[in-house]
Amino acid sequence: MQRAKKASMFMLALLMAMLMLAGCNQESSSGKTEESGGGKKDGNGKIVVGFSQIGAESGWRTAETKSIKETLGNSPDFELKFSDAQQKQENQIKAIRNFIAQKVDVIALAPVVETGWESVLKKAKDADIPVILLDRGIKVNDESLYTSFIGSDFILEGENAAKELIKLIGEDKEANIVELQGTVGASAANDRKKGFENGLKANPNFKITKSQTGDFTRAKGKEVMEAFLKSDGKNIDAVYAHNDDMAMGAIQAIEEYGLKPGEDIKVVSIDGIKDAFEAAAQGKTNIIVECNPLLGPQLAQAVKDLKAGKEIERWIKTDESVFVGKEAAEEALPTRKY
């Protein structure tokens, strides 16, 4: 009886061991596999990209999201994992940690602010997951924490905005300018401000008299412009907005104040959304400095190149233009995709 009991226990232990071994083999065969170039692919052979987006604070931002979703989300070569941070850095950090845990191949990040990324990006680097920045830069002590930046030259955008405004008003004239800044701490806001100030240096008779953040949103741009007009409306010659959405809000505030935007107060902004071109065609805004949000194809190509073991450029720049006046806006309007 005792021998039968021992034999039964032995058989049970042997059976459990065989089941565990089968389970391990099954997990190994269905897990992610390494690919040449140091990257990983999921079981269906697609390159897995985790994309942390800032939010949907503007038409420009929505266009960028659409471009990436259409390019990578609809491609047989990619699997896209998307996260909307709702303009909060803590949500982006959480998303990046989740991407690392999911062992994605590449992380794409549109950072809401410049600083505070070292810790989480160090984790990505330790996990051998390259990080590509989109449309906004970051400040880190270790530049190797990200592989590449795809986007615009924000300083040049600000310089072009100043240069065209001076030409529009006249170098020999004087102008009081109010500024609607983007999100505090964002590279786009910092650099567009710096570039615009650089562009005004040669013409000290052009002065920024008021400057405040509008958070890149239409509603906040209107609110801040209303405050500017209330305090000093008679002495404002121009408004410089770090993006078109804030400019659209400013235009509404100017009209409600009883002045004509584009005439009584010149308007210059950056991005190039369709609403801005429609306003320019109506004479309500004067200068649009383009910042291209359609980054999906460039991101897809950069990821493919990384997977193929190729070295990609540290800064992949986008092609952009400047549009001045009603005629230029009317000509370009039919081609705008965002």
- What pLDDT was estimated at residue 45? 84
290 — pLDDT class (breaks 50, 70, 90): very high
59 — pLDDT class (breaks 50, 70, 90): confident
- What pLDDT was estimated at residue 271? 96
Q: Give percent above pLDDT 90 in the chain.
A: 84
Q: Please tell me which residue, 64 or 25, carries the higher pLDDT value.
A: 64
Nearest residue to 83 via CA among 110, 60, 120, 114: 110
The reply to whether CATH 3.40.50.2300 applies to domain 154-291+322-335 is yes
Average pLDDT on 126-140 reads 96
- What pLDDT was estimated at residue 145? 97
43 — pLDDT class (breaks 50, 70, 90): low
162 — pLDDT class (breaks 50, 70, 90): very high
pLDDT exceeds 50 at position 12:
no
pLDDT exceeds 50 at position 31:
no
- What pLDDT was estimated at residue 338? 87
pLDDT exceeds 60 at position 110:
yes
Asked whether this chain's domains 40-150+294-307 and 154-291+322-335 adopt the same fold, the reply is yes
What pLDDT, in 10s, does the model give residues 145-156? Answer: 999 999 999 999
Sign of the C-alpha dihedral, residues 288, 266, 57, 89? Answer: positive
Q: Give percent above pLDDT 70 in the chain.
A: 87
pLDDT exceeds 50 at position 123:
yes
Cα–chain-centroid distance for residue 45? Answer: 28
What's the CA gap between 263 and 146, in Å, rounded? Answer: 45
What's the CA gap between 100 and 238, in Å, rounded? Answer: 46
- What pLDDT was estimated at residue 58? 86
What pLDDT, in 10s, does the model give residues 71-86? Answer: 999 999 999 999 999 9
The reply to whether CATH 3.40.50.2300 applies to domain 40-150+294-307 is yes
What's the CA gap between 291 and 182, in Å, rounded? Answer: 14
Average pLDDT on 226-251 reads 97
- What pLDDT was estimated at residue 93? 98
Parse the chain into domains and list their residue ranges.
Answer: 40-150+294-307, 154-291+322-335
Nearest residue to 182 via CA among 320, 332, 317, 55: 55
Nearest residue to 228 via CA among 267, 198, 193, 191: 267
Average pLDDT on 239-252 reads 98
- What pLDDT was estimated at residue 20? 41
Instruction: Tell me the residue type at 109.
Output: L
Contact between 177 and 208 (Cβ < 8 Å): yes
- What pLDDT was estimated at residue 4? 46
What's the CA gap between 311 and 146, in Å, rounded? Answer: 13
Average pLDDT on 98-103 reads 98
pLDDT exceeds 80 at position 292:
yes
